[in-house]
Structures are given as structure tokens and as C-alpha cells.
Structure 1
Amino acid sequence: MQYWQPNQTIKNGRFIIQKILGGGGYGVTYSAIDNNTNKIIAIKTLNPMQQSQPDFEEEQEKFVNEALRLRGCTHPHIVQVYEMIREVGLWGMVMEYIEGQDLAVYIDRRGQLPEDEALRYIDQVGQALEDVHKQGFLHRDIKPNNILLRRGTQEAVLIDFGLAREFNLGKTGSMTNAKTEGYAPIEQYERRGNFAPCTDVYALAATLYTLLTAEVPIPANFRKYAQLPPPKQFNSQISDRVNEAILLGMTLEPQDRVQTVREWVELVLPRKVNLPIPQAPISNPQPKIQNQPSKNIATPPKSDGEIKLITAKMDYTRLRDLLAVRTWKQADEETRRVMLAVAGREKEGWLDVEHIDIFPCEDLRTIDQLWVKYSNGHFGFSVQKRIYQSLGGTRQYDEKIWQAFGDRVGWRKGGKWLYHHDITFDLRAPQGHLPEESGLWLGGWGGWVISGGVVVSSLASRLVKCNI
């Protein structure tokens, strides 16, 4: 097998290959035109070197499993996977095409980044990694080359999960020792070890080291003989807080390292507030970020007017703050996160009807009230419920009503369901467009359209029972 060539058509003419976007020792990624939508997408396959190996079929199985894991991650800072295709025995992962450049190229052109800019990207990637770890696997290849910046934005997107593997906390496991020098922790130099989220913590800290210094840290296996130079040695503008946090994140032995991404990000970010988000009036100028240490941070209010922000299950202060400044995309992702946490479904990454039927009314009411308040009645679960019922929707799934609902709230266009990246995250969207709940029902590979209808009908039923 060879590389696909420019202008080559695959899948009976559905896709037209444009060019190779990049590749490494494992895979190769192409840009292509999807003739069904006339949009540019990306397709990743195993590269010709892997195709020539005797264990090619086994590697293809791992590749498909990578796609399945990624399909369960609907985070705004993780590249989105749409579907898998097979062309003449070769599996391809059809993904979101991200126009922009990776952080490695960005640093080559810009040099050392200002601390606040570097922390913005690290915070975003940290949020993405938290979602990855909740799915029960590690990325294992965090580095500037695998973080893309969307053109015209300040959004970082984590890509290339080719080395991603499942892990079990506290258990010794076997993994390939593939790695990137300078960013891989010491445990990735051996095939067996106690792999845990702290493996990715090391790489994330090393990435911040590079963003601030334009230097690649010395490889972990050299550090037995040479001390890691503090990043402040290369950039005197780095704050003492960030300098110390990087060194703590890059502690050589995994058992001595900061254990979770959340813990490490809380060390590296400013204490009083999370990184700046688009400016707009906020009722509480120093919001408490979910699970952030309480030292030097004002206690968050327990209510927002008549809305209860802290329930027996969850603190909704962060959701309120995101909605207050109308960062709808981040608020949509936060809604997914808190709902999965309340239902105890973080590991599964999706809600089933059983958990929707027992979802606490108190929490459902708070989420809905916040969306309704800060969108002036344009968005919210209760808004979606009214639209669904006005079309004749009931607890019983009905395909025609579900399609009509999708058309009304803007989740379908031209008779086709939109991908998550096509959702409109602002008030120009149709009424009821948000929250966009695909992240709550994408529990399996395929069938998401039908599953979505079942979820929405069940959620509407639960809202009625909760008198919302």
C-alpha cells in the first residue's frame, strides 16, 4: 500500500484527497474534500511503514479503538472524530479539519511566549486532558507539535492520539515505549510501569517549559546524570509561581509528581481567578473555579438571585460565570461535565435513559435556570422542552417529531444532522439551539441520531416530572 495522492477519490467518489497534512512513525493525515458537504475534512490512516508490518491488522485494530475513544470526547479543545471509513482494506479516521498552525511552529516564529498567553493554551489543553482521563485513557504524547491553534482565535486543540492507551490506577501495566524526547516522563522509557494521569502531567509541564523558554527540556533518562535547568534560567520574566509549578510537574519519579492535571493546573494558574475570558460585566468579580483551592479566594455565593448555585451534588459557580460572559461554547461543555459528574457517568462519558430518569430535579433546575437567565429566555432545557412538546413530542420516541425538532432548533440543515463543530455558539442561533446535548448521548459508535431523540424525549419527560 502507498500514500494516497492529490486528487485521488476514495469511498466511491465521496472524498477527494487534497494533500498530506503531516505524519510520523505511526500515521499520516490528509486533507480532503467531502463532496456531500463541500467542506474540508481531515483523514488519518496508518502510514505505509505500518502497512508493511506483519502485525498490520493488529495495529489497525488499535487504530480503530483510538477512533472509538476519541469519538467519546466531545470537548472543544480536542479534535473531533466524525466517522471511520475503509478503503481497499485501509481504515481511515474522518476528523475535523483545523485551519491553523501547531504550537511548535508558532514558537519557532514568535520565540518565547508571554506567560499569560502560554497559560491560556495550557489551561485549555489541561481541560481537554481531564476529559481524556475521565474516559480512562492517557494521551502519552503531549507536546507543542500536537497542539493546534485555530486560525483567528486563541483556542488550542489537542490532536494525535496515536499513542493513547487505557490505564488502571494503582496497577502495573504494559505499554509501548514510544515517546518524544524531552516531553516523555521516565516511565515511558520502560515497557512496564504504573501509568497514571501524572504521565500526561509531566508532558504538559514540559510543554509549558518550551512555550515560555523556546527550549526543549533535557530528556527524562538524562536527568539521572544532569539536573533539569529551571525554566527561569532561560526566561527571567517567568514568575516564581509558574517556575516552581513547572518543576513540580516535571518531578522525575512518578510517585513524587503532582498526580492529576487538575491539581497541577491549579498550581500554575493565578490564584484569584481562572485565566481571563472575554470581558463583560460579571456579578462576582472573583469567581471560585470548581475544585480550586480555597486559599486566598473568596467563598462563592450560594445563590444567583433566586437560582441555587451550590446543590448537594455540584457547585455551578463556573457554569454561571461562563454564561454571564456569554462564552456559550465553554458553557455548553461545562454543562456536559457537570451533568455527567452529577450522574456519576464521567467514565462512560454519556447518559442513558435510566440516569436521566433519576437525574436530581434540583440540579436540573439550576442548570436550566442559568441558561434561561443569561440567554434572556433564548436557550435552556425548558425552552427545548416547550418546542419539543409543541411539535407533539412525548416520552415515546417518534422519528418524524425528532427530525422536526432538529429542524426547529437548528441541529439539522437541508435534511442532514449537523456535526458538533457546526453548532452555532451565539445568540444568532435558533431558539433552543443550546445546550447542544450530543455529548450526553454519544455513548456508542454510530446511532447517535436515534440516541439523541431518545435522550431529548426522556429529558423532556424528566423536566415535566420536576415541574421545570
Structure 2
Amino acid sequence: MPWTTGQRLQGGKYVIDKVLGQGGFGITYKALHVELNRTVVIKTPNEYLSHDPEYDKYIDRFIQEGRTLARLSQEPHPHIVGVIDLFKEGIIHCLVMDFVLGENLFEAVKRKGALPEAEIVPCIRQIGEALVVVHQAGLVHRDAHPGNIMLRSNGKAVLIDFGIAKELVPKTLSSKDIAGNEGFAPYEQITRGSREPTVDVYCLVATLYYGVTGQRPTTSLARKLDNTFLIPPKQINPNISDQLNQAILKGMALEAKDRPQSMQAWLTMLEAPKATPLLPVDPVHRQEPVRLKAKLNLEPIPSKLATKPPRIIPWGWLIGVLLSYLLIGYLLAAYNAPYTVWAWAWFWAVAWAWFLDEAVAWFWAVVWAWIGAWTGAWTGAWTGAWIVAAIGAAVGAWAVAGAGDKLLDSFSKFHTFLILASTSSLGLGLGWLGHRIFNTGT
């Protein structure tokens, strides 16, 4: 059973204060180093693991990695918890580490919500640099989740609680106990107990994901087994940069082979692109004349990126077309022209727009004027309307031909037709509408 408050270890060298945490593999205590009057952390394996067939292997790994961490502590790293002592109390092996004052990243995010990129990235970079040192020593942390990253009041981050011997799976434990903290471990660690550096890459990047979004990422097992997608962090927090978003997605790639293969490689993705400095030029070379050995071809090279000339719209001609057909529409409405005359007026407005050529337009305008006058004289009906329409058509044909000639400099024939047809039709309609508005009382 766990030690209780006030219990003394190593003949009174250490006094237990309280239990800080307890998991499937071990128990962590807060204690006092009496001689140094210094608060420390003591980590021990769970006592009931002694009945597991793999217990001896677990203890061997615990001792081996504890000694490696102790060697690392001989040259203290500012972002790795220091190891002070390794001893055995009865049958229980104990690892003594520095007590880091502050709050862990879980607590910080719970208190403040998602952290700004400028605040969280330096902390993650510090932990990443610490893990580079750990990997160089032949270790893998395997548990770099937010609960194991302590934030000091001075803004420095410290990596604590190494997942010692976590790759050994005691048969007395369920499979979920080996996953580290849910949502932060890659599936190859959960299923195979992988000890590759890419495990720490995934775990640390998942921690960064949590820091910038305030949400736990989709678990790697759900992504692997259920084809669940990882929501990009920028979709949750649009304020983060595209560079950070890509670095997180790359570091949390589901397959280890798709992630950066080292922590240093991933840290490089966080760095802003640097401008290439110009090489210094020796003063002697500055003064040395340069002789061309080959004849330069000075002919201009056509550029594929050359921009098209701007389109010019002949507003004056288009206004002339609009006013011409506006007058025709007004006069036809004044003579109370029948729908037949209106239909012919609209038809020829569209026809002028299609013919475009001034000579052709004038020819058909004269023909239409002759037909209109003859029809009006023969029927004796609406002669004035036909004459007005015929004369207006001639003027409109001239305006359309002039505008069309200018438009063809910038537009295709089809687009020119659409512009002229819509302008003349608009003029007829506005002329009719104007007569109705100004003669409502007659």
C-alpha cells in the first residue's frame, strides 16, 4: 500500500509529505530531503506489480533508465527535471527527482483557455530541445503530455516524470494503462510499446495542439481503427499561423514514417524562414573589370506573363445608341403605336447590333423605312408611327454601327452584339416608360 504522510525513508533521510499521483505503473510522492531541507519527488513502482511475471524486467529497466537520467543530471539541463538519488527501500526501488514549483500545462489551459501562439510555442520549443538531449542519451520519454510539462512563473518549461519502462506491458494491467495520457500517445506506442523518437514527436506535438486549441486531439486509435479525421488546429483556432498549423499536422501524422524522424527535424519546422545572407565581396574583385566572353542576345524576350491591354468602352457612342432608341421608344409611345410596330422596332434594334457594319446597317435602315412608309400609306393606319420608327431606325443604325466599330477593338463580335442589343432594347423600354410617366394625365 502507498506510504503515508510522515513516513521516513532511508533512516530518516527522506520524509513523505503526500501522494502527488498514482498510475498503473507507479506512485509519485512529494517528500522532504531532511539534510538539505529541500522538497523532492520520489517515484516508485506500484507494489502490486511484484506479482507480475514481467516484474523483474520492469525493475531492471527502471534502474537502468534511472541511472541514465542521473548521468544527464550531472550537467543539469534547464528544461529537464534533475535526478538526485536512486535507492531501494525494503523491496521497493525509488527514484528521487527535483520538485518543480509551478503549474502543469493541463492546469494552465484549464485556467486560461487556449494559449496564444507566442506564449505556448517557446515552451514547447524548450521541451523539444530537452527531448533532443534525452534522445541523444538513448532514452525516449514516452509521456510528454501536458500533465508532465511544468510551467514556472518565469515562463520556463520543465519536462518531468519520465515514463520509465513503459514499453514493458505487465500482464496484470489493462491495455489502456499503457497508453500514457489518452489523446496524446501514437497508436504504435499503445499497441506495440514503441520506443522510437517519433513517439515523443507525436506526443509533444499533440500537447502543442492541446495548448493552442484548448481541446484534446482525436485519439490515434480512433484515427487508425475508425478512420476518424484529426481536425486541423487552425479550424478550431483561426488565429494561429499557417506555418504552425502545418507543423502540428505533420508532427501528428498517424503513421510514424510520415512524421519528422527526429525531434530536431520537427523543431526546424517551427523556425521562420531565414533570408540568405549575401556573400562578402573582396574589394579587389569589386574593382576588377568583367569581360564578356560570349555575345549577349539583347533582343527582347516575349514574356508569357505579359498582361492584356485594357479594354476600352466607347461610352459616348453607347450613350448615343441609348438616347437614339430612347427617343424612338418615346415617339412610338406618343403615337400610340401598335405592338406590331414595337416588335419591328425591337427586331431591327437587335439586327443593327448584329450587322455592325455601317454600310450594311444604312442599307437595311433605308429598306425598312421604305417598307414602313409604304405599309403605313397602304393601310392608312399609324403612318406617323411608322415614319418615326423608320427615321429613328436610320439614326439608330448609324449610332450602332459607330459604337460597334469601337467595341470590336476590345471585345469579340458576340460580346459586342450583346452589349449593343441590350443597350438599344433598354433605350426603347426607357422611352416607353418615360412617356407613360410624363403623360399620365393625358
Distance 1:144 1:299 in 2: 42
> For each residue in 1:74-118, what CA deviation from the matched residue of structure 2 results, as whole angstroms up to 9, or x when unmatched?
321111101112111111111111111111111111110010111
Task: Name the SS for the 2:154 alignment partner.
Answer: coil
Which residue of structure 1 lines up, in the alignment, with residue 275 of structure 2? Answer: 296
Contact 2:67 2:86 in 1 (8 A): no
Distance 1:93 1:40 in 2: 14
Q: How do 1:143-154 and structure 2 match up within 5 A?
A: 143-150=145-152, 152-154=153-155
Deviation at 1:48, TM superposition (A): 3.4
Distance 2:49 2:196 in 1: 27
Which residue of structure 2 lines up, in the alignment, with residue 330 of structure 1? Answer: none
Q: How do 1:35-114 and structure 2 match up within 5 A?
A: 35-73=34-72, 74-114=76-116
Report the CA distance shift for 1:33/1:212 in structure 2 as closer, same or farther (over 3 A): same
Task: Name the SS for the 2:248 alignment partner.
Answer: helix
Report the CA distance shift for 1:178/1:202 in structure 2 as closer, same or farther (over 3 A): same
Deviation at 1:47, TM superposition (A): 2.3
Structure 2 residue 176 is matched with structure 1 residue 189: no
Distance 2:19 2:193 in 1: 34
Deviation at 1:70, TM superposition (A): 1.2
Which residue of structure 2 lines up, in the alignment, with residue 34 of structure 1? Answer: 33
Which residue of structure 2 lines up, in the alignment, with residue 236 of structure 1? Answer: 238
Contact 1:107 1:214 in 2 (8 A): yes
> For each residue in 1:406-437, what CA deviation from the matched residue of structure 2 results, as whole angstroms up to 9, or x when unmatched?
xxxxxxxxxxxxxxxxxxxxxxxxxxxxxxxx
More displaced, 137-146 or 180-189?
Answer: 180-189
Structure with the higher fraction of residues in helix conformation: 2
Q: How do 1:297-316 and structure 2 match up within 5 A?
A: 298=277
Which residue of structure 2 lines up, in the alignment, with residue 159 of structure 1? Answer: 160
Which residue of structure 2 lines up, in the alignment, with residue 206 of structure 1? Answer: 206
Q: Which runs of 5+ in 2 are unaligned?
A: 168-176, 281-442
CA RMSD of aligned residues (A): 2.3
> For each residue in 1:30-52, what CA deviation from the matched residue of structure 2 results, as whole angstroms up to 9, or x when unmatched?
11111211111111111234345
> For each residue in 1:191-229, what CA deviation from the matched residue of structure 2 results, as whole angstroms up to 9, or x when unmatched?
276x53222111111111000001111111221411110
Distance 1:138 1:250 in 2: 17
Report the CA distance shift for 1:192/1:107 in structure 2 as closer, same or farther (over 3 A): closer
Task: Name the SS for the 1:82 alignment partner.
Answer: strand
Structure 2 residue 21 is matched with structure 1 residue 22: yes
Distance 1:299 1:3 in 2: 64
Distance 1:300 1:39 in 2: 54
Report the CA distance shift for 1:261/1:297 in structure 2 as closer, same or farther (over 3 A): farther
Contact 1:245 1:264 in 2 (8 A): yes
Q: Percent identity?
A: 41
Contact 2:61 2:164 in 1 (8 A): no
Distance 1:57 1:185 in 2: 27
Report the CA distance shift for 1:214/1:297 in structure 2 as closer, same or farther (over 3 A): farther
Distance 2:93 2:111 in 1: 35
Which residue of structure 2 lines up, in the alignment, with residue 371 of structure 1? Answer: none
Task: Name the SS for the 1:93 alignment partner.
Answer: strand
Rg bigger for which structure?
2
Contact 2:186 2:203 in 1 (8 A): yes
Distance 2:259 2:148 in 1: 23
The AA in structure 2 aligned to 1:213 is T
Report the CA distance shift for 1:23/1:177 in structure 2 as closer, same or farther (over 3 A): closer
Task: Name the SS for the 1:92 alignment partner.
Answer: strand
> For each residue in 1:219-244, what CA deviation from the matched residue of structure 2 results, as whole angstroms up to 9, or x when unmatched?
11221411110001111111111011
Contact 1:139 1:164 in 2 (8 A): no
Task: Name the SS for the 1:91 alignment partner.
Answer: strand
More displaced, 68-77 or 235-244?
Answer: 68-77
Contact 1:137 1:165 in 2 (8 A): no
> For each residue in 1:145-171, what CA deviation from the matched residue of structure 2 results, as whole angstroms up to 9, or x when unmatched?
111112x221111112124679xxxxx
Contact 2:25 2:46 in 1 (8 A): yes
The AA in structure 2 aligned to 1:15 is Y
Distance 1:262 1:125 in 2: 11
Deviation at 1:189, TM superposition (A): 3.2
Structure 2 residue 6 is matched with structure 1 residue 4: no
> For each residue in 1:131-187, what CA deviation from the matched residue of structure 2 results, as whole angstroms up to 9, or x when unmatched?
01101121111110111112x221111112124679xxxxxxxxx964333111132
Deviation at 1:300, TM superposition (A): 11
Q: How do 1:56-455 and structure 2 match up within 5 A?
A: 56-73=55-72, 74-150=76-152, 152-163=153-164, 178-191=179-192, 195-224=195-224, 225-271=227-273, 295-296=274-275, 298=277
Q: How do 1:449-464 and structure 2 match up within 5 A?
A: none
Report the CA distance shift for 1:38/1:226 in structure 2 as closer, same or farther (over 3 A): same
TM-score, scaled relative to structure 2: 0.57
